[in-house]
């Protein structure tokens, strides 16, 4: 590659996830001067990758790899290989001789969320808190999302979360509109708002939700030009420096603009939180019914969630029942007017699969 010796017939290939920090000397003509960007596979690509990894797997004859590709948007080739391996392990643990569709769908959740920790002992007080928290996420998602649908709601600890609301888009998406980003923020705030409305209290369970929605709101202002006050300006540029654990950012704007950015981020989050509280107040009957079912079953799949949602979705104008199964118990709601009109809180609180 020094350009002095003959190198006909020699092709050198390399791969990196950080092309932005490569030495420009490496990219000169005659060196690494051709780039091929490898994106995440689309549905057709996932199907072909699944065919490769399924060759030595005892798949049931009823399994259609095209259907598996449909339920795995965003998965990489490594994720798909891991998916079939996990499904094979699940089938082996159950003593099955072939991998069935249920094994694969369960493996999808395990990869997205992490393994469930059914042995963890949780107090009844925290179970109720988690049930209403996850119910809040699920109801807001069902109400505002244009792309995602609820796949499962669970109060069984999994990964690093005390419970989770698993959701994913029903098709591959490559762009996000302002409305969709606001919806992601609202979904993340659903758990905290449910805690606030039912118990008149908030917990540390929304920590990852807060980080997610604050990150989305800040990106909307600084990267995507979605601020009503700052317009089409972007801030920060590409001057991000990887420091080992996190990125260092170069601030190329004034303190006055930084203050405006903070105000715009807070405005987005506060407005979203107010809308979320309004949604949950309007759908209080669904919130109570869903949380009650979660406390009983611990896990609700997508079709059952949809049935509960539709069965308790009151027509506009009818008051929701203020009944609350947590009343009189350890974590009784301190707000008897949960179904009435409450002023939106100004607390700053996206997808995450669980919180």
SS3 249: strand
* List of residues 6+ apart from 54 with CB closer than 8 A: 65, 84
Cα gap 70→262, rounded to integer Å? 39
Hey, CA dihedral for 96, 102, 107, 113, is it positive or negative?
negative
Structure tokens at 166: 């698993």
Does the annotation count 134 as an active-site position? yes
Residues 6+ apart with CB under 8 A from 58: 88, 91, 97, 98, 99
Residue 116 burial (CB count, 10 A) = 18
Of the chain, the end-to-end C-alpha distance in Å amounts to: 50
d(CA 206, CA 350): 10
CB atoms within 10 A of CB 110: 19
* CA 43 – CA 47 distance, rounded (Å): 6
DSSP 180-234: HHHHHHHHHHHHHHHHHHHHS---GGGHHHHHHHHHHHHHHHHTS--BTTTBT--
Are 164 and 134 in contact by the 8 Å Cβ rule? The answer is: yes
Question: Which entry of 116, 134, 264, 282 is annotated as an active-site residue?
Answer: 134
Helices 302-312 and 124-144: crossing angle in degrees, nearest 10, is 80
The Cα 235–Cα 312 span in angstroms is 45
Question: What tokens does 126 get?
Answer: 């925290």
Q: Which two tokens stand for residue 189?
A: 């705030």
Between CA 86 and CA 105 the distance in angstroms is: 10
Point out the residues that are catalytic. 134
């Amino acid at each position: 590659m020094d350009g002095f010796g003959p190198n006909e017939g020699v092709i050198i290939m390399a791969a990196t996830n950080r092309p932005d920090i490569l030495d420009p000397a490496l990219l000169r003509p005659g060196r690494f001067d051709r780039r091929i960007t490898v994106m995440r596979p689309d549905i057709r690509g996932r199907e072909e990758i699944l065919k490769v990894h399924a060759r030595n797997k005892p798949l049931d004859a009823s399994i259609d790899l095209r259907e598996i590709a449909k339920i795995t948007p965003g998965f990489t080739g490594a994720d798909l290989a891991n998916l079939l391996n996990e499904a094979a392990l699940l089938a082996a643990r159950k003593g099955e001789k072939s991998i069935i569709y249920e094994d694969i769908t369960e493996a999808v959740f395990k990869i997205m969320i992490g393994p469930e920790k059914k042995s963890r002992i949780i107090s009844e007080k925290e179970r109720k808190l988690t049930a209403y928290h996850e119910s809040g996420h699920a109801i807001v998602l069902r109400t505002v999302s244009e792309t995602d649908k609820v796949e499962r709601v669970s109060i069984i600890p999994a990964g690093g979360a005390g419970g989770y609301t698993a959701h994913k888009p029903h098709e591959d998406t490559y762009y996000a509109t302002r409305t969709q980003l606001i919806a992601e923020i609202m979904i993340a705030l659903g758990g905290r708002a449910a805690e606030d409305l039912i118990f008149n209290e908030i917990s540390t369970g929304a920590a990852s939700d807060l980080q997610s929605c604050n990150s989305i709101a800040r990106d909307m202002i600084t990267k995507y030009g979605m601020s009503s006050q700052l317009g089409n300006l972007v801030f920060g540029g590409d001057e991000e420096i990887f420091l080992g654990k996190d990125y260092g950012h170069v601030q190329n704007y004034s303190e006055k603009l930084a203050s405006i950015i903070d105000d715009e981020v807070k405005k987005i989050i506060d407005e979203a939180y107010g809308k979320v509280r309004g949604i949950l107040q309007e759908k209080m009957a669904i919130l109570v019914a869903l949380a009650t079912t979660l406390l009983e079953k611990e896990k609700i799949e997508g079709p059952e969630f949809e049935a509960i949602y539709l069965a308790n979705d009151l027509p506009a104008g009818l008051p929701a029942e203020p009944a609350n199964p947590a009343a009189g118990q350890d974590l009784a709601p301190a707000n008897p007017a949960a179904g009435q009109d409450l002023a939106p809180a100004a607390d700053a609180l996206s997808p995450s699969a669980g919180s």
